[in-house]
Chain A
Amino acid sequence: MKRSVLMLATALSLSLGALQAQAAVSPLDLVAPIAQYKVYVTKELDAFVAATKDFTDAVKAGDLAKAKTLYASARAHYERIEPIAELFSDLDGAIDSRADDHAKKEKDPTFTGYHRIEYGLFVTNSTDGLAPFADKLMADVNDLQARVKGLTFPPEKVVGGAAALLEEVAATKISGEEDRYSHTDLMDFQANIDGAQEVYTLFKPLLAKDAKNEAFLKKVDANFASVDAILVKYKTADGFESYDKLSKKDRKALAGPVNTLAEDLSKMRGLLGLK
């Protein structure tokens, strides 16, 4: 008897908490920002296809210098929309896996995509033998575009994407292990942050409807601003400084806002009433 009363009380407080969290947002409210996000993703994907075309053409033409220049900016489009691209894990692996993900590392025949070509361009310092990888990359990127066109965007993946991008940054961008051959990590870093900020900005008005979220939004805004302010110091005319130019002090200074954004953005789904 006592126990069932207790369980009831617990259940009640849980559902009250849940109600509280989603009081200001109804599922219908999510439709518009998700549609807007799909437009963003579509634009980024169009640009990604075009940039990959230029990049792979340069590789196949044997234009080493041009291919090196195009590498980082082409990838950035992918890094901005990674939470959606990652929904197709076969393509994500083919396009963006790193040597660590393969048993024989750089020598593994299943290691394909941007980082495989990066290895050729920046370590072997040659386009020799890269044409088949270029062809496969182009085909995979086209495939990605086609698949995303037919995709119904799951709301929790869209909203959760902001946090997922920050997890990417916290796990592999802070360390400089993503673009280990070209050291163009800061471009990816900024692209992940931009992609997260896009999601956040689209859903921010919904969160702002609830006065309780005011401090949360202020904190998130401030941390995005801190990250951008540090990254901007490393911007160059056509991209970013090499990752090894990032000072130890700035690397540390990035860790705080990045980890805090990861913590805070992980609450966004719940705050919007999503699972």
Chain B
Amino acid sequence: MTSHPTSPHRTSSLDRRSLLKGFGALGGAAAGMLGTAAVARADDISSPVTTAPESNRTAERVDFYGVHQSGIVTPRPATGMVVAFDVLATTRPDLERLFRTLTERIAFLMQGGAPPKLDPKLPPADSGILGPVVVPDNLTVTVSVGASLFDERFGLAPKKPRHLNAMEQFPNDALDPDLCHGDLMLQFCSNTADTNIHALRDIVKNLPDLLLVRWKQEGSVPMIAARPGAKAESARNFLGFRDGSANPDSADAAVMERVVWVKGGEEPDWAANGSYQVVRIIRNFVERWDRTPLLEQEEIFGRKKASGAPFGGHTEQDVPNYAADPKGRQTRLDAHIRLANPRTSATQANLILRRPFNYSNGISKSGQLEMGLLFIAYQADLEQGFITVQKRLNGEPLEEYIKPIGGGYFFALPGVSGPSDFLGSALLAPGEPT
């Protein structure tokens, strides 16, 4: 297969590209299985050091239009970023202009294409960091609103989702006010961090009078080697454990309907097909964790570190049988996974869809690594979902190694039905609130 023996990865990436063309229609998830690069050989000097690394996934595109927003049950790509904003609009018409412009920008960024060419004496329309043609690169931008958007400014108070409030401080939290809350939350996800940054800069440039960045956190997910035919594995967090093993199946529409999407009737009508979003910046004390015996790490989580299997199981998908272990001899009663999901019929109501990233931000004043989990979760009922789960977790032994420092509660808006619709159209529609 290799036609040019000195640059094996170039040839193989071409092969992959033609293979992927066929997969394009099947969607990004299938293509992802093939994304492993061939091993670069030490003697490969065919290209200069500054040659751009190649990706055969830049054309991957997620649909912007739909009943629900993308970026929630969409398979999670390798990089994510959350950015909270203060809304600077002071009137309803300006708020509508904000949502219409956001819709227009996100639709373009997720579709990709060439930005308009302006008179070169003017600043360019686009930052250009993805080149003259913007590639979609699997980008999703998911828009959520915070409780503060429903204050007196826009008269939206009667439309506030029932459970949407400013995130409370839990006992183990040390929340930094500069990393919390916001009127608006944008979640960017794509194959590369640069694509997320490009999208953010586009939005910041196009909405200077309406949006002000409040805080931001980037994250990533470690990639693993593709294993054709094998069962999917959950990615690992910065504590080295698989995260998401017990997640409800995001490909199962009926489950998502129950766990993730808000239905009419329980909430203001406009909120149907939206979802409560929880964002938490959870610092991990990784040096200390790395100095903790493996057995203790596993007991704290309730899973084997290497396989992700629960005690007594073989794979991460195995379901622990807590009923047969009432005293916690196999899995401690205060193990993280046992508290988070006790696997009883009653606690089925507390399921949430987690979609987290790992983050790393430089170092602390004492020279320790500032890194951890950018926790993101979606649920149809915030009270029954995250808040109930977190209350069960309060006081867990894992707390010695983690410290939530920021985040907020938000409500992900319903989807945009088509080019004539816009994000938040139902929220802003005049008429009787329910």
Contact = CB atoms under 8 A, between A and B. Distances in A.
Bound together: yes
A271 interface: yes
Contacts of B205: 263
By size class, the interface of chain B is: 10 to 19
Contacts of A267: 122-123
Contacts of A257: 209
Contact of A18 (B121, B208, B209, B210): B121
Interface in A17-57: 17-18, 20-22
B208 A17 contact: no
B192 to A, nearest CB: 27
Nearest to B118: A17
Given A259-B209, A260-B208, A263-B208, A253 B122 contact: no
Interface string A236-265: 000000000000000011011101101100
Given A252-B86, A255-B88, A270 B121 contact: yes
A173 interface: no
B119 interface: yes
Nearest to A17: B119
B88 A21 contact: no
B88 A18 contact: no
B117 interface: yes
A269 B121 contact: yes
Given A13-B117, A17-B117, A256 B208 contact: yes
Mostly, the A contact residues are helix
B121 A273 contact: yes
Contact of A255 (B117, B118, B121, B212): B212
Contacts of A10: 117
B228 interface: no
A262 B208 contact: yes
Interface string B192-236: 000000000000010011101000000000000000000000000
Contacts of A123: none
Nearest to B204: A259
Contact of B122 (A21, A223, A260): A21
Nearest to B123: A266
Nearest to A275: B121
A73 B123 CA distance: 34
Nearest to B122: A270
Contacts of A18: 119-121
Task: Among B117, B121, B122, find the residue whose CB has the most chain A CB atoms closer than 10 A.
Answer: B121
Contacts of B118: 17
B210 to A, nearest CB: 7
A217 interface: no
17 contacts: A14-B119, A17-B117, A18-B119, A18-B120, A20-B119, A21-B119, A22-B121, A252-B86, A252-B88, A252-B212, A253-B88, A256-B210, A256-B212, A259-B208, A259-B209, A263-B208, A274-B121
Interface of B: 86, 88, 117-123, 205, 208-210, 212
The 5 closest A-B pairs by CB, nearest first: A270-B121, A270-B122, A259-B208, A256-B88, A260-B209
